[in-house]
Amino acid sequence: MHKRIVIVVLVLAFHIGLSPADAQPLKVHSNAATPAYTLGPEDEIAVSVVELPEFSSKSYHIDADGSISLPLIGRVQATGLTLAQFEGELSAKLRSQVQNPHVTTSLVQTRSQPVSVMGAVNLPGTQQLQGAKSLFDVLASSGGLKADAGDAITITREADEGPLNLPGAMPDPANGRISAQVSVHDLVDLKDPRVNILIRPRDQISVSRAKVLYVIGNVKKAGGFTLSDKNSISTLEALALAEGLAPNAQPKSAKILWRTDPSATTRVQIPVNLKRILSGKSEDIQLSAGDILYVPDNATRRMTSRAAETALATISGLIIWRGL
């Protein structure tokens, strides 16, 4: 469409006795969607010049030194320019070939502004910034937080990308990178809008995983429960999070499947008489992240250790409840 408009203008100029030099140049931009995007190494752009078929809307790669090789004019510096500024540079250089060149550029692929998002997000990986994006925007582009996300988001910034304007930002003496933490609650609940900072290229964002313990078996709301800033809770607190015992539960035959070491694959089974704890006849027991409280029903009151281990297989499909 843009090409047709340019051609019509030139044809009309010819018929009314004007030369192409007398006709005002038609400024065409196909970069309206990314006006503020700054070009960088590894980006790919398409360039079209109406009067020069050598370009033919081909795509061109910006090299590591920030320059791009183009027909007729050779290497042109592109890094640090917006698309509109780059069009202006090309127009100036092409005037040695065409008096009033009509240049159009567009962004084909961005590779120069990567941001890494890791940890408890639904779509971890690398994404490219296109224009200004806040921390909230980048996390949303990563599919949002997982149910087992913790409350800490760590942002690490390269020294040459400018300051990291967050409380507690600390540089690493070894590499100069600056790191700081943001609270998920402060960001999502808008408790402090200042934490929703603008993200810079090459920032690394890591969302922590919450400490989770599990209550399974014959309870009203089985699942995993995040501990947030707590290190442990009692069996009665865990049972309260699970909304209490379900009908036909056998609390005196409950078990704690305790992991002695976070890296261990096996668990120690500890019998726990919830009935006595509920009545105040026995001391409550503390549970930590990764522990599992299993409450059998009457039909399995003679459950064996093997039955308890079989129950572990259900954990992968459990809902994780947040809010502790």
Mean pLDDT, residues 180-193: 85
Tell whether the model's pLDDT for residue 43 goes beyond 80: yes
Q: Which of 74, 94, 109 is the last residue of a domain?
A: 109
Q: How confident is the model at residue 148 (pLDDT cuts 50, 70, 90)?
A: confident
Same domain, 66 and 143: no
Structure tokens at 318: 């459990």
What span, in angstroms and rounded, lies between the C-alpha atoms of 199 and 203?
7
Same domain, 227 and 309: yes
The CATH number of residue 19's host domain is 3.30.1950.10
Same domain, 193 and 238: no
What span, in angstroms and rounded, lies between the C-alpha atoms of 319 and 97?
67
Q: Which of 63, 87, 109 is the last residue of a domain?
A: 109
Q: How confident is the model at residue 207 (pLDDT cuts 50, 70, 90)?
A: very high
Q: For residue 307, give the nearest of 220, 213, 216, 214 by alpha carbon.
A: 216
User: What is the pLDDT, as a whole number, of residue 13?
Assistant: 36
User: What is the pLDDT, as a whole number, of residue 196?
Assistant: 93
Same domain, 160 and 192: yes
Same domain, 228 and 316: yes
What span, in angstroms and rounded, lies between the C-alpha atoms of 298 and 306?
17
Domain count for the chain: 3
Same domain, 228 and 308: yes
User: What is the pLDDT, as a whole number, of residue 158?
Assistant: 93
What is the overall mean pLDDT for the chain?
81
Q: Is 314:296 a contact under the CB 8 Å cutoff?
A: no
Q: How confident is the model at residue 321 (pLDDT cuts 50, 70, 90)?
A: confident
Same domain, 92 and 119: no
User: What is the pLDDT, as a whole number, of residue 298?
Assistant: 76
Same domain, 95 and 119: no
Q: Is 173:233 a contact under the CB 8 Å cutoff?
A: no
Mean pLDDT, residues 232-254: 91
User: What is the pLDDT, as a whole number, of residue 312?
Assistant: 61
Q: Which of 158, 178, 209 is the last residue of a domain?
A: 209
Q: For residue 211, give the nearest of 261, 151, 268 by alpha carbon.
A: 151
The CATH number of residue 299's host domain is 3.10.560.10
Same domain, 103 and 161: no
Task: For residue 26, give the amino acid letter.
Answer: L
How many Cβ atoms from other residues are within 10 Å of residue 138's Cβ?
20
What span, in angstroms and rounded, lies between the C-alpha atoms of 14 and 54?
23
Same domain, 175 and 222: no
The C-alpha angle 32, 36, 42, rounded to 5 degrees, equals 100
The pLDDT tens digits of the residues spanning 47-71 come to 989 888 888 768 899 998 999 999 9
Domain span at residue 254? 212-321
Same domain, 190 and 226: no
Q: For residue 182, give the nearest of 214, 135, 234, 241 by alpha carbon.
A: 135
